[in-house]
Amino acid sequence: MKIAVTGAYGQLGGELCRKLPTETIPLDIDQLDLTDDPAVEKVFAGLNPDAVINCAAYTQVDRAETEAEACRAVNLSAVENLVRVCGVLNCPLVQISTDYVFCPGDGRPVPYTEQDTPSPRGVYSQTKYEGELAAAKHHKHLIVRTCGLYARPSDETADNFVKTMLRLGQSRDELQIVADQHCTPSYVPHVARAIQFLLGVGLAEPAPWGIYHVTNRGATTWYDFAAEIFRLAEIDIPMRRITTAKYDAPAPRPEYSILDTRKYHLLGGPPMPTWKEALREYFAEMSVGVS
């Protein structure tokens, strides 16, 4: 099986390229501009992959508010181009999406299922939802929604919340952390393992086509997540809770975007650990230098 992985320089794309037990074709912007339809058609005709996993995305949530055209080109137009080539090749397309399609999520009492209707708000969340709709037009599609990804500590190029907190915890006297956004930050190796299962790599067949929620289990806030990071890292730093309104970011954030993962787990795939278990695994790998 030959799998093309776009966004191969990113956290999830890089993990998939390193760990998939099959031939992978890593693609990123320096090999192929996914918004260039003729180039996409030409390159994929030559590669002839058995499946495509699209990890490429415009993820600068705040910048997207002033760069809407660039954001939509990557999060929608590129997906439309991949849908066309996957249709010609008759191969599966795995589209990576986000909990942000459920934004703002005001007053939500229970986790979102795959049957719940998205409520995107802001350029980033809207374009990611539009990308989902485009991917769903391809009959062999797997749309995987996830949240707050952080890569292995050995991924030196990764930029994520955990690394940022570890850096700031050693350089600041005090930190203000948003405490009213409820989500489930997820460890990239666990998400990559689940995608491998859903695509049927090494199995008889893939999961039924459709949407799947894949995150670590449980719920937290960015404040409590940061507190657990500092506890495990044995960093003693004063923290103050602030609201999303106080943070005053240009783009809206979900107040509640917990994703229900029962649909994935009912298939019998590798269980997703809780967010606390995942974070402990991150620190264990940091201590022994696992790559």
Residues designated catalytic: 124
What sections of 92-241 are H helices per DSSP? 123-135, 161-169, 188-199, 222-233
Separation CA 279–CA 58 (nearest Å): 26
Q: What is the largest CA-CA distance in the chain?
A: 56
Structural tokens at position 235: 């960093």
Q: Let me know: does 215 contact 113? Beta carbons within 8 Å.
A: no
Which uninterrupted H or E stretch holds 39? helix 37-47
Q: Do 230 and 169 meet the contact criterion of CB atoms below 8 Å apart? A: yes
Half-sphere exposure of 79 (CA within 13 A, CB side): 30
